[in-house]
Amino acid sequence: MIPRLYIDAGLEPGAAAPLSDAQAHYLKNVLRRAPGDALHLFNGRDGEFAAEIAELKKRGGVAAIGEKTRAQPPEPDLVLYFAPVKRGPLETIIQKATELGVAALRPVITERVVAPKLNLDRLRAIAVEAAEQSGRLSVPSVDEPIKLARLLEGWPAGRRLLFCDEAGDDETLEWGGEEGRAAPLLDGLKSEDSSAHDWAVLTGPEGGFTPAERRLIRAQNFGMAASLGPRILRADTAVIAALALWQAALGDWRRG
What residues line the site for a copy of itself (CB under 8 A)? 73, 92, 95-96, 99-101, 133-136, 177-178, 181-187, 227-234, 237, 240-241, 244-245, 247-249, 251-256
SS (H, E, C) the chain: CCCEEECCCCCCCCCEEEECHHHHHHHHHHCCCCCCCEEEEECCCCCEEEEEEEEECCCCEEEEEEEEEECCCCCCCEEEEECCCCHHHHHHHHHHHHHCCCCEEEEEECCCCCCCCCCHHHHHHHHHHHHHHHCCCCCCEECCCEEHHHHHHCCCCCEEEEEECCCCCCCCCCCCCHHHCCEEHHHHHHCCCCCCCEEEEEECCCCCCCHHHHHHHHCCCCEEEEECCCCCCCHHHHHHHHHHHHHHHCCCCCCC
Shortest CB 231 distance to a copy of itself, Å? 4
Question: Of 61 and 101, which CB lies nearer to a copy of itself in the complex structure?
Answer: 101
Question: Of 128 and 228, which CB lies nearer to a copy of itself in the complex structure?
Answer: 228
Question: Of 151 and 199, which CB lies nearer to a copy of itself in the complex structure?
Answer: 199
Shortest CB 213 distance to a copy of itself, Å? 19
Shortest CB 234 distance to a copy of itself, Å? 6
Question: Of 198 and 252, which CB lies nearer to a copy of itself in the complex structure?
Answer: 252
Angle at 131 between CA 200 and CA 35, to 5 degrees: 160
Question: Of 87 and 254, which CB lies nearer to a copy of itself in the complex structure?
Answer: 254
Sign of CA dihedral 78, 79, 80, 81: negative
Shortest CB 252 distance to a copy of itself, Å? 6
Shortest CB 239 distance to a copy of itself, Å? 10
Question: Of 153 and 178, which CB lies nearer to a copy of itself in the complex structure?
Answer: 178
Query: 29 to each of 25, 111, 125, 216, how far by Cα in Å?
Result: 6, 44, 18, 51
Shortest CB 201 distance to a copy of itself, Å? 13
Shortest CB 238 distance to a copy of itself, Å? 9
- Residue 199, beta-bridge partner list: 78, 160
Question: Of 77 and 187, which CB lies nearer to a copy of itself in the complex structure?
Answer: 187
